[in-house]
Structure 1
């Protein structure tokens, strides 16, 4: 972790009249509060902010992952595409996210989370719903790209928003809670799909069409709820419906406790400075993070699209395979024991990405300013979507049904991720340890 104590002493000072000055030079009316009072406010924050953010991530993962379930309902035949063309479309989704990830977070920095994040949810919800009526390769490619463009920036926007409300030692836990939305959606999407896909024939529509329609409408409703309820900022915790969740004193405490912990979070401008963008783009310390995010998440991306198909390939009935992949490789690729292969696949999916949240918290804590933190988190999620581009080609039609080459590559990628993760640990152990040594403080690794 960066040396927060040293940074606070330099950038947050109390003047003779008892007022605080942040890193932007603005004076802040100082109030005193007790630890119990602060703890109550944090619990209140948790119940107000986190459910909305988690619900948004839940909707995101539903709309990203449901196409994997659609494959078991004659999606290729109905739309008129091949497996390898499907892979390219999945890559376009990741490309769309990469293209607008940083611009999206620059807009977030300017207009705030309520309007931007809520608007994003509604936008991709509309695209996700319209996927139900795609026909042919061009329509498939366009809808996947549009879905990625509309989703771009959502995850780093939510992570950055959390850093504006929580202190440095509180963010890692909240980042992990946020990613629970992804986990729950991944666990439930197959079970939900199992029920919806049985609607094939209702109103003349295929099961996969109902899957996109119903889950897309759910996402749109989540977006409107976010717009209506989510508070603007810690200094002005009021929603668009003018719901005020905290008293004036509580608002001051929420704002000041974060600034006292890290004065760089004082947002003097609604624009990210070029120096902050340059600082994030040229920060060589990000290289191990980017590397192990790409190679570490690529297998998870592949499993995300093909888990139901893989389970069906083990010999389970197609629709049942959607449910089985939710309840829940090279060495067993030739095994005839379907239950054993299913168990190993489930374990592989379970451990393939939970470290991603900690990685993001790591980067947020070591950013030098609010603007740089925003861009850094965008780069972090861009790396995850680069992993999506890699992962979407790991399982190819010519390698089916055993996917020997695919699982061999996954072993290599995972091994590389372990090495790069070790390098990231080493660099912070050395660099942050030296910072604390120079300041005379004890560094706990």
Structure 2
């Protein structure tokens, strides 16, 4: 008898690789529902997955690295007289941050609809060049109008890249492989956030070169880097498994490898071959969109993302200036801020591996969000006259844990999607929520709350407490939904037939939610 599935992932497969190997056979074996013949060995599949890891993931990580540099470098520019040079105030700077995120939110779903129609090579490649040009020429902005229009345009051009990439990754890997791959993808974002301060520390010293300010050189150099990553993407990225050829015609995978890539997904979803072939060749229907939006649990995921990431958005923008307010040199503050961000990068990777092996992504998110709440509260409770070293240490811990659960949360949403179309819409909503967090977080630290931001930190603590509550509600709803599914399928917990994880054995058509 087959194992109970957790929305596309065999219940035993999420724990370790040995369980995954047990699914395969070195001799031909017919798939009971998919109608195809399985002919590959576990070693052959492992080698192919490693090949995908070496080709698909590094390119997407590189582009995400460039995107985060372009998105976050304005925060580093604050330490180099950016406000005075451009002619704006701190609150106007916050408004620009909100406009950038609003631009992303507005076009997130339309962008994913286009990607579903034309495929990732053409659409994502176009996006990279567009936002790279905006990021470069923002070095010459002047006045409030120029600043706000540049921020909005940058957001509009970046819209759709992150959910489109997450959706693309989900087409290359099986569900129990996703958490660690999402973690590696977000590693591009984390490394950029951590390295951004160090890069800024060096580039901002270029003030005066060719008559330009240091922040202008920061925008120019990082914008040109983005354009170069666009060249790499167009030349090398293989698109989707149904036709893994780059836009420039480069092919990395043999016909047999292409067959294995498609058919191994059918182990989790017998309809995945037809669904994968549809991506990049037809429009998403209104029924697909309505179906994805009708599930109330996705809106709780949206709420969790918005509220839970708002404090981290505020920290990304203001951590350098907060550290400088402790009495440290303003340029050194950029480098000092990166310490917590490097710790965060490490936690993101560890979290991805732990979530895949544990298999309980909801419980992992609950643990991580709770830890973030604890450190946020601890910083809020520090007296104003606390020594700067203690303040810096606690701020570092708060920033290190402020979003390390985000990648696993994305894989949790993906695994509980039933079709590629639903997965695409869910990923768009997921990243829309993250940018809504940017809109909210952009106003947490305001000029009238200087220098300690008491009000901002109080709101951050309240947001994290609420986030813990939302995760608990989600876990409860998924548990109730699974109980209903088991009851309808005639499965009871006292059944004598269970797998090694204690899950009742059922037919392959019975699928449970992962939490």
Asked if the contact 1:237/1:245 (under 8 Å) is kept, the reply is: yes
Deviation at 1:242, TM superposition (A): 2.1
Structure 2 unaligned spans of 5+: 11-29, 341-378, 492-503, 506-511
C-alpha displacement of 1:337: 0.8
Please list the CA deviations of residues 316-365 of structure 1 after superposition, one character each: whole Å capped at 9, or x if unmatched: 11111111111222112513411111111111111111111111111111
Q: How far is 1:159 from its partner?
A: 0.4
Give the equivalent residue in structure 2 for 1:11.
Answer: none
The whole-number CA distance in structure 1 between the counterparts of 2:428 and 2:50 is: 28
Structure 2 counterpart SS, 1:271: coil
Moved more, 390-399 or 282-291: 282-291
User: Which among 440, 445, 459 is matched to residue 390 of structure 1?
Assistant: 440
For residues 239 and 114 of structure 1, the distance between their equivalents in structure 2, rounded to whole angstroms, comes to 7
- 1:402 is aligned to 452
Q: 1:437 to 1:230 in 2, by over 3 A?
A: farther
* 8 Å CA contact retained: 1:109, 1:270: yes
Report matched runs for 1:189-338 at 5 Å.
Answer: 189-265=196-272, 266-267=275-276, 268=278, 270-328=282-340, 329-332=379-382, 334-338=384-388
Aligned residues of 1:3 and 1:435 also touching (Cα < 8 A): no
The secondary structure found in structure 1 opposite 2:262 is helix
Conservation of the 8 A alpha-carbon contact between 1:114 and 1:231: yes
What is the alpha-carbon distance in structure 1 between the residues aligned to residue 482 and residue 271 of structure 2?
18
**Cα distance in 2, alignment partners of residues 239 and 21 from structure 1:** 32
Q: Please show how residues 107-122 of structure 1 align to structure 2 within 5 Å.
A: 107-122=114-129
Which runs of 5 or more structure 1 residues have no equivalent in the other structure?
7-17, 23-27
The corresponding residue for 2:363 is none
In 2, distance between residues paired with 1:393 and 1:180? 26
1:346 aligned residue (393, 396, 405): 396
Q: 1:292 and 1:333, CA in 2 relative to 1: closer, same or farther beyond 3 A?
A: farther
Q: Identify the residue that residue 422 of structure 1 maps to in structure 2.
A: 472
Equivalent in the alignment of 2:193? 186
Is the contact between residue 333 and residue 402 of structure 1 (CA under 8 Å) also seen in structure 2? no
1:20 touches 1:30 (CA, 8 Å); kept in 2?
no
Which residue in the other structure is 2:375 paired with?
none
Distance 1:21 1:118, change over 3 A: farther
Alignment correspondent of 1:378: 428
* Equivalence for 2:181: 174
What secondary structure sits across from 1:393 in the alignment? coil
How far residue 240 of structure 1 moved from its aligned partner, in angstroms, is 2.2
> What is the CA deviation profile of residues 376-432 of structure 1, one whole-angstrom value per residue up to 9, with x for unaligned ones?
110011111111111000000011111111111111111101110111122122213
- 1:263 shift after superposition: 3.5
User: CA deviation digits over 1:13-32, x for unaligned, max 9?
Assistant: xxxxx79986xxxxx86451
Tell me: CA distance 1:306–1:264, structure 2 relative to 1, closer, same or farther (3 Å): farther
For residue 65 of structure 1, what is the aligned residue in structure 2? 72
Of 91, 99, 103, the residue aligned with 2:98 is 91
Taking the aligned partners of 2:200 and 2:192, their CA distance within structure 1 comes to 11
TM-score normalized by the length of structure 2: 0.80
Query: What is the Cα-based RMSD across aligned positions, in Å?
Result: 2.1
Per-residue CA deviations over 1:273-322 (Å, capped at 9, x if unaligned) read 11110011221011221111111100000001101011111111111111
SS in 2 for 1:344: helix
Question: CA–CA distance in 1 between the matches of 2:336 and 2:228?
Answer: 28
In 1: Cα distance, 2:296 partner to 2:226 partner: 37
Map 1:1-20 to 2 at 5 A.
2-4=6-8
**Please, which moves more after superposition, 86-95 or 245-254?**
245-254
Contact 1:333 1:404 (C-alpha < 8 Å) held by counterparts? no
- Cα distance change on mapping 1:202 and 1:274 into 2, 3 Å: same
